[in-house]
Structure 1
């Protein structure tokens, strides 16, 4: 009988006082289980603190890595060519022109008038060089400048088959 009381006394001495009080109030006896918490030892070096690669990176670097890993670089570069047209061509020129399509390396720019289209035609090399320098992933190889839309007699409700009007104005 003394062995049982000795075991209880030993178990009670290992048990924290708050746990022993709780067990006494509930009418339970403390067990001989060790109440000290054991630290979990992990061997996972990827999640260990203060190791290389664990520090948060700058947001720009994280976004660059995301776009590179996802393969979005070319699509974002093409969008930037359209969105940054005023910086590429100049603010005054951008007021009179806007890019309308970019297909197979050909950037088509619509101008307010044929005079603006011709002036931009003279600036083609400069604009193309600037696009290649800023956005090499866009894949712009050539520029095409078009004037405003003009009425056509080829479509509409009263079109007649045939060659259409020729020299009928004189």
Structure 2
């Protein structure tokens, strides 16, 4: 529009008269332009002079180098959680026990499995008493190897259990030296 340059400043009486004299615009384009000009004029009147305007520096804004407020990878977040909760030793033991075959060898790992780690004691279950005996003989080397990889005194004792046997004790009030399985089989 060529008459844009000759328009009076928004908010002046001449502008208000001109706004009322504009014919109906079905698209609303002229109304949008007039509204934008009026808003701009109000903003310019409220704005302080450029010499007074100072840009404040935010002392906690992120710079060019990474810091704790930047997005983190999931693995780093999990590591921070483990460290904060004090679970590092427990997680390290579980990770190492997940590689049981590398610790004791493939043949022994085939017939034994770690069951529990609590109070610096590792409990291992075997398939037979022969494998339990072999693992008991190997227990001091296993403790030394675990402590070497996990840190001193992480594992103090390895308890080796034989195969699971059925329990004939039922309930808390059973007879301690009762007949047991003999009365069942004959």
Instruction: Tell me the residue number matched to 2:64.
Output: 50
Conservation of the 8 A alpha-carbon contact between 1:117 and 1:146: yes
CA distance in 1: counterparts of 2:151 and 2:39, whole angstroms: 77
Give the deviation of 1:138 after TM superposition. 8.5
Give the deviation of 1:161 after TM superposition. 6.7
| 1:146 equivalent in alignment to 2:146 | no
CA distance in 2: counterparts of 1:85 and 1:67, whole angstroms: 22
SS at 2:163 equivalent: coil
Structure 1, residues 58-95: CA drift from partner, whole Å, max 9, x if none? 76555433321232213312322432222222222111
Q: Provide closer, same or farther for how the CA distance between residues 55 and 161 of structure 1 changes in structure 2, counting only shifts above 3 A.
A: closer
Instruction: Tell me the residue number matched to 1:107.
Output: 122
Q: Provide closer, same or farther for how the CA distance between residues 124 and 40 of structure 1 changes in structure 2, counting only shifts above 3 A.
A: farther
CA distance in 2: counterparts of 1:131 and 1:161, whole angstroms: 38
Give the deviation of 1:155 after TM superposition. 2.5
* Larger RCO of the pair (alpha carbons < 8 Å, separation 6+): 1
Instruction: Tell me the residue number matched to 1:68.
Output: 83
Q: Provide closer, same or farther for how the CA distance between residues 163 and 87 of structure 1 changes in structure 2, counting only shifts above 3 A.
A: same
CA distance in 1: counterparts of 2:118 and 2:154, whole angstroms: 9
| 1:119 equivalent in alignment to 2:134 | yes
Count of matched residue pairs: 149
Structure 1 unaligned regions, length at least 5: 1-6, 12-20, 166-170
In the superposition, the TM-score normalised over structure 1's length comes to 0.62
Instruction: Tell me the residue number matched to 2:144.
Output: 129
Give the deviation of 1:119 after TM superposition. 0.8
CA distance in 1: counterparts of 2:101 and 2:177, whole angstroms: 43
Q: Provide closer, same or farther for how the CA distance between residues 122 and 162 of structure 1 changes in structure 2, counting only shifts above 3 A.
A: closer
Conservation of the 8 A alpha-carbon contact between 1:8 and 1:30: no
Conservation of the 8 A alpha-carbon contact between 2:97 and 2:114: yes
In the superposition, the TM-score normalised over structure 2's length comes to 0.57
Instruction: Tell me the residue number matched to 1:23.
Output: 34
Q: CA RMSD in A?
A: 4.4
SS at 2:41 equivalent: coil
Structure 2 unaligned regions, length at least 5: 1-7, 13-31, 181-186
